């Protein structure tokens, strides 16, 4: 057997190379993310051993945090395009990892230019790496290979192992050696990821390679051509025109940041419309449409889920009794590890439940799992509603509510997130595979931004109302998608019907 054909625990060894690379990348991302708001809001004189911060107000810090966490994922679109058109996924991941090492390296410096440069590089690096490494996981499996979903679940464990280690270790390093040591640790860890990726290349010879277009290739994708065709497609052009006008109004009346974002989204919407129009067969068109519809679920899911780092985090800090049997007080940040910890505990369980049902011929469709994921996650907010009620009554609330909420959020995440990754690699037209993965991550990025906006509204309406609102909204949306399941499934034209054992 050639290296790329070798298996470990029933999966191609390449999966474990990608697993480890992504684990270190996520360690650096989540480690750095955990520090960001705290670093920005610490005074310029420094309050303790962690050293000087930037001295920003929490409003300023949260605003930058919202844009940063959104951009990191939105950059997956150009990242996916670069892979599709220029260098292939494998090289895009390599360059992404190098840029990330540089970015985290620059953040070790204390100057403000270094801060912005470092963040900018991290945004570019994640944009190049994150969508493309995920598409590569899909590339390890042939169409219809039953191992694909399980492979993505294993990959997802890698993601969260990185996040768990980071949220446990980085805080300790910072407490001892200061902020910039924490940023530096993220950088060192990323270098490990890079080395590990380079060393594992022999297991990845068959995936993520760039295929240069043949000179007379009619199939060749050109984004430039698609855009120029827009001008001879009246329907698409007028939709794009309306969106653009709305964006410009937004630019004028709102923040320039939002205006720019809307213009960017208009450009992407125009591209997606043109791709849809150009797809050769109705089957491709329908699948493309389902994929885009499923991204609505993705935005809503992350818009609710990402309260974790924001509103729920603040709630933990100020309204929750974190006293551990009178022995010590559990630090707020530790609650951020619950999600990653639960993922690691339950990912294989959830995946094997689906796999068992599949073997019995009763496999649920990805769309059903995603809708179910929204509902389960939404129910997690029921416990936050209880927490808010308890707080209103007694001035404090038990941490058991948080644990239960994060448990439900995690089970929901396991139903939607690894499933969606796998679903995209099944449904996206091959030529646009990386682009569509980019659009998917951009949707999660928009979800992050939505989460920030929803979370901020708690200062006007109170936590109780916000938690209850999220609960009701998500359960209704999830229910709606379940009602629409039949017609939606029809549109997938059996993309998931003939999966079987292939090895
Ligand atoms: N926690 C997951 C990760 O880091 C999901 C992130 C996302 O899809 N936005 O990969």
pLDDT tens-digit series, residues 164-181: 999 888 878 887 888 888
The answer on pLDDT for 409 being more than 80 is yes
Within its chain, how far is the Cα of 153 from the centroid? 14
Pocket flag, ligand 1, residue 344 (CB < 6 Å): no
pLDDT band at 498 (very low <50, low <70, confident <90, very high): low
CA dist 402 and 123 (Å) reads 30
Pocket flag, ligand 1, residue 73 (CB < 6 Å): yes
The minimum-distance atom of ligand 1 relative to the CA of 302 is 9
Task: Give yes or no for a contact between 322 and 332, defined as CB atoms under 8 angstroms apart.
Answer: yes
Mean pLDDT on 319-329: 82
CA dist 404 and 382 (Å) reads 9
Task: Give yes or no for a contact between 290 and 494, defined as CB atoms under 8 angstroms apart.
Answer: no
DSSP codes joined into one string, 23-90: HHHHHHHHHHHHHHHHHHHS-TT-SSTT-------HHHHHHHHHHHHHHHHHTHHHHHHHIIIIIHHH
- Burial readout 233-256 (b: 16 or more C-beta within 10 A, e: otherwise): beebbebbeebbeebeebbeeeee
Of the residues 167, 410, 417, 440, which should be mutated to test ligand 1's pocket, given the most ligand atoms within 8 Å of the CB? Answer: 417
- The pTM of the full predicted model, rounded to 2 decimals, is 0.86
| Residues written for the chain | 503
The minimum-distance atom of ligand 1 relative to the CA of 22 is 10
Pocket flag, ligand 1, residue 339 (CB < 6 Å): no
How far lies 64's CA from each of 69, 70, 449, in Å?
9, 10, 11
DSSP codes joined into one string, 331-361: PGGGGGHHHHHHHHHHHHHHHHHHHHHHHTT
pLDDT band at 443 (very low <50, low <70, confident <90, very high): very high
Mean pLDDT on 485-491: 83
CA of 48 to the centre of ligand 1 (A): 32
pLDDT at 501: 45
Mean pLDDT on 60-86: 87
pLDDT at 469: 93
What would the two tokens of residue 240 be?
């794009």
Task: Give yes or no for a contact between 129 and 26, defined as CB atoms under 8 angstroms apart.
Answer: no
The answer on pLDDT for 405 being more than 70 is yes
Task: Give yes or no for a contact between 351 and 153, defined as CB atoms under 8 angstroms apart.
Answer: yes
How does the average pLDDT of the chain come out, rounded? Answer: 86
Q: Residue 317: which of 304, 331, 306 has the closest Cα? A: 331
pLDDT at 502: 43
Pocket flag, ligand 1, residue 26 (CB < 6 Å): yes
CA of 167 to the centre of ligand 1 (A): 15
Pocket flag, ligand 1, residue 153 (CB < 6 Å): no
Among protein residues, the one whose CA lies closest to atom 7 of ligand 1: 444
Pocket flag, ligand 1, residue 159 (CB < 6 Å): yes
- Name the residue with higher pLDDT: 440 or 233: 440
320: β partners: 397
pLDDT at 84: 84
């Amino acid at each position: 057997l050639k290296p790329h054909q070798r298996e470990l625990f029933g999966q191609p060894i390449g999966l474990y190379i990608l697993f480890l690379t992504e684990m270190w990348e996520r360690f650096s991302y989540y480690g750095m993310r955990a520090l960001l708001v705290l670093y920005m809001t610490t005074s310029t004189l420094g309050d303790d051993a962690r050293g000087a911060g930037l001295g920003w107000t929490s409003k300023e810090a949260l605003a930058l945090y919202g844009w940063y966490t959104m951009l990191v994922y939105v950059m997956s679109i150009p990242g996916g395009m670069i892979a599709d058109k220029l260098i292939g996924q494998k090289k895009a991941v390599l360059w992404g990892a190098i840029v990330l090492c540089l970015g985290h390296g620059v953040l070790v410096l204390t100057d403000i230019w270094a801060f912005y440069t470092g963040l900018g590089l991290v945004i570019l690096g994640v944009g190049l790496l994150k969508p493309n490494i995920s598409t590569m996981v899909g590339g390890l499996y042939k169409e219809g290979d039953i191992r694909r979903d399980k492979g993505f679940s294993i990959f997802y464990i890698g993601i969260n192992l990185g996040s768990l280690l980071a949220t446990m270790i980085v805080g300790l390093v910072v407490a001892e050696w200061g902020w910039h040591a924490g940023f530096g640790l993220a950088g060192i860890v990323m270098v490990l990821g890079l080395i590990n990726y380079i060393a594992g290349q022999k297991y990845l010879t068959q995936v993520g390679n760039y295929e240069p277009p043949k000179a007379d290739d009619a199939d060749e994708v050109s984004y430039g051509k698609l855009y120029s065709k827009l001008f001879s497609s009246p329907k698409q052009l007028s939709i794009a025109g309306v969106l653009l006008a709305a964006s410009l109004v937004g630019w004028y009346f709102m923040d320039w940041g939002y205006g720019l974002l809307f213009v960017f989204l208009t450009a992407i919407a125009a591209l997606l419309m043109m791709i849809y129009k150009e797809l050769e067969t109705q089957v491709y068109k329908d699948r493309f449409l389902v994929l885009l519809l499923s991204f609505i679920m993705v935005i809503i899911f992350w818009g609710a889920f990402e309260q974790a780092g924001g509103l729920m985090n603040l709630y933990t800090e100020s309204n929750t009794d974190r006293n551990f049997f009178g022995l010590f007080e559990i630090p707020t940040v530790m609650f951020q590890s619950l999600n990653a910890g639960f993922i690691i505990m339950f990912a294989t369980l959830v995946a094997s439940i689906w796999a068992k049902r599949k073997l019995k011929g009763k496999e649920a469709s990805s769309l059903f799992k995603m809708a179910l994921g929204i509902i389960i996650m939404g129910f997690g907010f029921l416990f936050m509603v209880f927490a808010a009620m308890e707080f209103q009554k007694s001035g404090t609330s038990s941490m058991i509510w948080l644990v239960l909420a994060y448990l439900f959020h995690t089970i929901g995440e396991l139903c939607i997130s690894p499933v969606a990754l796998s679903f995209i690699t099944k449904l996206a037209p091959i030529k646009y595979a990386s682009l569509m993965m980019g659009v998917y991550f951009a949707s999660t990025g928009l979800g992050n931004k939505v989460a920030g906006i929803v979370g901020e509204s708690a200062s006007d309406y109170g936590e109780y109302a916000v938690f209850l609102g999220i609960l009701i909204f998500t359960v209704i949306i999830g229910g709606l998608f379940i009602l629409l399941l039949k017609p939606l499934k029809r549109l997938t034209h059996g993309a998931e019907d003939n999966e079987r054992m292939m090895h």
